[in-house]
Amino acid sequence: MEIFVVPNAGGTGAVAAGILAAVIRSRPDAVLGVATGGSPLPVYEALAGHRLDMSGVRGFALDEYVGLPAGHPQSYAEVVRREVTERLHLDPASVFVPDGGAANPEEAAQDYDRAIARAGGIDVQILGIGHNGHLAFNEPGSALDSRTRVEALTERTRQANSRYFDSPGDVPVRCITQGLGTIMEARQLLLVVHGADKADILCEALTGPVSPECPASVLQLHPHVTVVADEAAAARLMVVPAGSVHGTGLVKVRAGAAVA
Ligand code: GLP
């Protein structure tokens, strides 16, 4: 695992965008896994500044609400269109979001996994983390090898996301989410985290037991994880250069009081 600790949210965007830009330069038809929520917004902003040729890049969103009317501004299809496709000048025909309006959402979820496989898999999956450790919409209790599927949202997540809706009751109760097993198949995972309110859960995810109770703990099992955190989010981690690979940016992470 590599972890970069930067002063603030803007710094997380700059570092993560630099990583993505390098991937896109070496592979102009890269498949990006794109995340919604506040954490990745500085990344998309910074990546736009690289002015890369993005015409061949493909994208798959992590998740979507079930049951919002088509074109609802808070549907992830719309958020991804605004924040990712338009901002980065991606070809809209090459950016996919689970179909939360499908007559049969379960079938749509299975189709989504097949579409990712047909695209050759995801090169880099951008991730945020929820306060309860959720990844995408994999809530606590999700199987570590779960596939893309329909899930119920917890009250905590609905409450957290109510900031985007007119009233808390407007937040959908179900979603389609890439499964943890699906996410783990991406060749690289890029977790972006900022803010003191994420410090406890980031520490638990990276240093606690690997368990469905903290879905993001599954990251510990992936061979290529890059974490980009600001100082506030990393406050409970002690980042120790791993002896034999010192200087390569590879580190061991453990719970602690300081970032060294
Ligand atoms: C949302 C999304 C997740 C996101 C998480 C954290 O519910 N489904 O993909 O990572 O919550 O969001 P934020 O980055 O706004 O804290």
Predicted model pTM: 0.93
Mutation choice for ligand 1 from 43, 161, 165, 202, CB with most ligand atoms inside 8 A:
161
Question: pLDDT tens digits for 177-198?
Answer: 999 999 999 999 999 999 999 9
149 in any annotated domain? yes
245 in any annotated domain? no
253 in any annotated domain? no
Q: Select the more confidently predicted residue: 247 or 45.
A: 45
**Domain containing residue 234: CATH number:** 3.40.50.1360
Instruction: Tell me the CA–centroid distance for residue 128 and ligand 1, in Å.
Output: 6
Q: Predicted confidence band at 240 (pLDDT cuts at 50, 70, 90)?
A: low
What's the mean pLDDT in 196-204?
97
Beta carbon of 84 within 6 Å of any ligand 1 atom: no
224 in any annotated domain? yes
Query: DSSP string covering the chain, please?
Result: -EEEEESSHHHHHHHHHHHHHHHHHH-TT-EEEE--SSTTHHHHHHHHTT----TT-EEEESEEEESPPTT-TTSHHHHHIIIIIIHHT--GGGEE---TT-SSHHHHHHHHHHHHHHTT--SEEEE---TT--BTTB-TT--TT--SEEEEPPHHHHHHHGGGSSSGGGS-SEEEE--HHHHHTSSEEEEEE-SGGGHHHHHHHHHS--BTTBGGGGGGG-SSEEEEEETTTTTTEEEEE-GGGTTTTBEEEEE-S---
Q: Does residue 159 register a pLDDT over 80?
A: yes
81 in any annotated domain? yes
Q: Select the more confidently predicted residue: 1 or 249.
A: 1
What's the mean pLDDT in 31-59?
97
pLDDT of residue 238: 76
251 in any annotated domain? no
Point out the least confidently predicted range of 52-56, 86-90, 91-95, 235-239: 235-239
249 in any annotated domain? no
Beta carbon of 63 within 6 Å of any ligand 1 atom: yes
231 in any annotated domain? yes
Instruction: Tell me the CA–centroid distance for residue 245 and ligand 1, in Å.
Output: 32
Domain housing 85: 2-239
For the chain, the domain total comes to: 1
